[in-house]
Structure 1
Amino acid sequence: MNQTPTLPSPDQPRPAEGYAGDISPRLAWQWVSAGQAVLVDVRSDAERDWVGYVPGALAVAWKQWPGMRLNPDFDAQICAAVPPGSTALLLCRSGVRSIAAARRATELGLTAYNILEGFEGDPDENGQRNRRGGWRFHGLPWQQG
């Protein structure tokens, strides 16, 4: 007997190894809007400046431009940005760096989720982003500046 696998609801976090879980951009925005979580943008300063940012998100880069080297102050900055007992939702370009950042934040004692698809989503067949998922693709608040 064939059974169709049950896919996780986009309205529920997905379990993950090493951090609290993965969350859809829409659910992340619901939690942030309701004051249930803190949105932390872990992209580089250059990415936020050139590509856009989410108003009200806290900027704590995981890696910095140029060279995309690990931010040596990440631990102190994320702990200062996220109040004790709060939930951190981590956003990067495509939802990859934010996994590493969520794992590190968890090691530091925070409850941290990765936002699936990131700010720009995955590239399409032409190598262009913002056409296959991502914060902007879903029409969530952002500015360019």
Structure 2
Amino acid sequence: MSNNQLGYAGDITPETANEWMQSGAAVMIDVRTEAELAWVGFVPGAVSVPWKKWPGMAMNPAFDDAVRAAANGKKIALLCRSGVRSIAAAQRATELGLEAYNILEGFEGDANADGHRGTQGGWRMRGLPWRQN
């Protein structure tokens, strides 16, 4: 799809996002909540800018300013749990004038038949760098 249809620069694979981040070509912004980062895991070097605030999941009023500051003139790759919130965040970042990409599959990928994540796609399943507290 073209940028106009998506409302952001495009979708990229977790592997591409990792390459861009490692090379300095892009800044990764993780839009998951602080609770998700603490409980599930995080990508070293990614900037945390929650799209919504835990526990009520209200919009983060600081998102616009924080994402502009994090981008620091570079293109940005947005990560969430499964690649849904990051689409909305990429659309918003594009409205702010940033070159924003959605990372397909997110950190944990889609839920399997048992409702469990982490086995069907996602940053973690693909063996890319991550840590857990």
TM-score by length of structure 2 reads 0.96
Deviations 1:81-130 (A, max 9, x none): 1112x100000000000000000000000000000000000000000001
Aligned equivalent of 2:30? 41
- Moved runs in structure 1, 4+ residues, more than 3 A? none
Q: Is the 8 A contact 1:19 1:113 kept in 2?
A: yes
* SS at 1:98 equivalent: helix
**Structure with the higher helix share, 1 or 2:** 2
Q: Which amino acid aligns with 1:63?
A: K
**Higher radius of gyration, 1 or 2:** 1
Q: Please give the residue correspondences for 1:1-145 in structure 2 after superposition, counting only pairs within 5 Å.
A: 15-16=2-3, 17-84=6-73, 86-145=74-133
Q: Which amino acid aligns with 1:100?
A: A
Unaligned runs of 5+ in 2: none
